[in-house]
């Protein structure tokens, strides 16, 4: 996953992780600052353990004397890290090291006769009264590290491992959670981009819409929207296609009827006008049908390898032929022989439309110039005329259907307003691009970029 640093993924991940780690830290800090919160069960268990140790210490004392008891206590300190002292009933220490700090606790227990449990700065002090074999009363006091302090005191390596685990386990959980939340969004975004590029068949992954949560619903809604969009656009295309198709029948009859009328009534200017308009309608229908098909059937057009240079040469040749004896009005220049993969018919009409356009507007003595040149892995076909050019704000829009630069001019010159739209779509279908620029001192250059097959 390639994500920007401010991505939702990173935000959610860091926020959740930070929340979990902070929670863990605050619990630890609270434990250190508020040690009172030690569970009472543990409390009881501690006292029981201390009682057992106390009984043993008293036994040692009664059999071996103070020396024996001290040895036992030292041994315990050694093994269990628990310092302990044994006091007499009067609260005076009998055996054990550094017993003076336990003095006050011992006195207090001697008075009350009840065990005491104090926790201070991570050290638990447990004092229990105990009876010897001869009904003598003793007081046993011990201390041991508890809580986080215990951990810190015992093993630094283990602490590091625990911290790492505390950091990584929430991290992993957060990562999985965040992925679970953001992955569908990322994929939905890809689908949206595809849709925006005009690929209306795009749907978000069906598996995502199986989720029974908000994201699942969003994916479902997205797909419904895409479906509707596709339906609308398809419907519009189909309508254009059907209208054009249906218009042909009456137009064909009209053509024949007009000719019959002409035969009967002789030549008349009105007939000429009708004839001219019929021709224009014929042409418009042809182009509309081509356009509708280009929009609809990207996948069904057969592609083949062919020689683009030859194709352009034959178009230029035919166009020169059409110019009647004025073939010097168009020139062609190609660096090399270019091979492309595509649909010959479509590319032919794409290039032809541009060349015809150039011829139509080329009102100068300079010839229309057609040039083929290599641009990296592309071939660029430039068609340059020396006509009036196009206002710069219209340069993008001349490839839109029925867009006219100036209201009258195009109609006067006999255009349908569809030629360049066909060019744009055909070129795009071949993975190419087309644009137009104004040349100095005047004239328009249309540049078609097509991927080369090497």
- Residue 209 or 348: which CB sits closer to other proteins? 348
Q: How far is the CB of 395 from other proteins (least distance, A)?
A: 27
Q: How far is the CB of 454 from other proteins (least distance, A)?
A: 21
How far are the Cα atoms of 153, 414, 418 from residue 275, in angstroms, in the given order?
Answer: 105, 13, 21
Enter the tokens of residue 382.
Answer: 């430039």
Helices 147-154 and 156-196 cross at an angle (nearest 10°) of: 110
User: Running DSSP on this structure, what letter comes out for residue 390?
Assistant: -
| 442 among known catalytic residues | no
Q: How far is the CB of 221 from other proteins (least distance, A)?
A: 38
Residue appearing with tokens 């050019």: 389
**Angle at the Cα of 205 (from 204 to 206), degrees rounded to 5?**
110
Q: How far is the CB of 345 from other proteins (least distance, A)?
A: 5
Q: To which H or E segment does residue 320 belong?
A: helix 308-322
How many residues does this entry show for the chain? 454
- Residue 276 or 396: which CB sits closer to other proteins? 276
Measured CA to CA, the distance from residue 100 to residue 449 in angstroms comes to 96
Would you tell me which residues interact with other proteins (CB under 8 A)?
244-245, 248-249, 251-257, 259-260, 263, 275, 278-279, 281-282, 285-290, 293, 310, 313-315, 317-319, 321-322, 345, 348-349, 352
Q: How far is the CB of 340 from other proteins (least distance, A)?
A: 17
User: Running DSSP on this structure, what letter comes out for residue 366?
Assistant: S
- Residue 66 or 296: which CB sits closer to other proteins? 296
414 dihedral zone (left: phi>0; alpha: psi -120 to 50; beta): left
Which residues, 6 or more positions from 234, have their beta carbon under 8 angstroms from its beta carbon? 200, 296
Measured CA to CA, the distance from residue 426 to residue 344 in angstroms comes to 11
- Residue 139 or 332: which CB sits closer to other proteins? 332
Residue appearing with tokens 């042809």: 286
- Residue 181 or 278: which CB sits closer to other proteins? 278
- Residue 185 or 251: which CB sits closer to other proteins? 251
Burial of 155 (0-12, 13-18, 19+ CB in 10 A): exposed
Judge whether 436 and 445 are in contact, CB under 8 Å: yes
Pairing of strands 93-95, 116-120: unpaired
Pairing of strands 433-438, 116-120: unpaired
Judge whether 82 and 55 are in contact, CB under 8 Å: no
- Residue 213 or 259: which CB sits closer to other proteins? 259
Q: How far is the CB of 318 from other proteins (least distance, A)?
A: 4
One of 78, 81, 134, 245 is an active-site residue; which one? Answer: 245
Enter the tokens of residue 8.
Answer: 């939702």
- Residue 108 or 339: which CB sits closer to other proteins? 339
Phi, psi of 382 (to 5 degrees): -110, 125
Q: How far is the CB of 353 from other proteins (least distance, A)?
A: 11
Helices 419-429 and 344-361 cross at an angle (nearest 10°) of: 140
Q: How far is the CB of 420 from other proteins (least distance, A)?
A: 16
Enter the tokens of residue 257.
Answer: 């009827």
Q: To which H or E segment does residue 370 belong?
A: strand 368-375
Active site positions, annotated: 245
């Amino acid at each position: 996953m390639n994500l920007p640093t401010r991505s939702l993924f990173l935000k959610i991940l860091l926020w959740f992780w930070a929340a979990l780690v902070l929670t863990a830290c605050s619990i630890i800090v609270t434990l250190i600052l508020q040690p009172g919160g030690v569970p009472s069960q543990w409390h009881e268990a501690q006292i029981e353990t201390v009682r057992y140790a106390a009984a043993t210490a008293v036994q040692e004392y009664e059999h071996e004397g103070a020396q024996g008891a001290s040895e036992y206590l030292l041994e315990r300190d050694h093994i269990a890290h628990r310092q302990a002292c044994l006091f007499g009933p009067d609260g005076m220490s009998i055996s054990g090291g550094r017993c003076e700090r336990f003095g006050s606790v011992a006195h207090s227990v001697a008075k009350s006769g009840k065990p005491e449990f104090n926790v201070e700065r991570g050290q638990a002090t447990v004092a229990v009264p105990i009876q010897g074999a001869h009904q003598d009363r003793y007081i046993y006091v011990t201390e041991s590290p508890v809580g986080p302090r215990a951990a810190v005191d015992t093993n630094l390596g283990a602490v590091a491992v625990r911290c790492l685990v505390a950091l990584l386990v929430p991290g992993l959980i957060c990562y999985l959670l965040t992925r679970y939340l953001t992955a569908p969004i990322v994929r939905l975004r890809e689908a949206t981009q595809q849709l925006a590029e005009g690929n209306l068949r795009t749907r978000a992954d069906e598996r995502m819409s199986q989720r029974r949560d908000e994201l699942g619903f969003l994916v479902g809604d997205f797909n419904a929207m895409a479906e509707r969009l596709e339906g609308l656009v398809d419907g519009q295309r189909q309508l254009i296609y059907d209208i054009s198709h249906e218009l042909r029948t009456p137009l064909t009859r009209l053509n024949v009827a007009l000719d019959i009328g002409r035969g009967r009534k002789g030549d008349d200017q009105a007939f000429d006008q009708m004839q001219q308009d019929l021709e224009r309608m014929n042409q418009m229908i042809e182009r509309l049908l081509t356009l509708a098909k280009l929009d609809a059937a990207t996948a069904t057009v057969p592609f083949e390898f062919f020689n683009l240079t030859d194709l352009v040469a034959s178009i230029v040749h035919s166009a020169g032929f059409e110019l009647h004896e004025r073939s010097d009005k168009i020139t062609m220049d190609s660096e090399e022989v270019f091979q492309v993969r595509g649909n010959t018919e479509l590319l032919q009409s794409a290039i032809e439309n541009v060349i015809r356009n150039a011829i139509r507007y080329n009102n100068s003595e300079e010839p229309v110039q057609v040039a083929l040149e290599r641009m990296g892995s592309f071939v660029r076909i430039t068609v340059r005329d020396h006509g009036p050019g196009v206002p710069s704000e219209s340069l993008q829009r001349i490839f839109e259907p029925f867009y006219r630069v100036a209201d009258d001019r195009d109609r006067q010159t006999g255009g349908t307003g569809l030629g360049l739209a066909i060019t744009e779509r055909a070129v795009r279908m071949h993975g190419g691009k087309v644009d137009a620029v104004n040349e100095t001192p005047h004239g328009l250059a249309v540049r078609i970029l097509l991927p080369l097959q090497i």
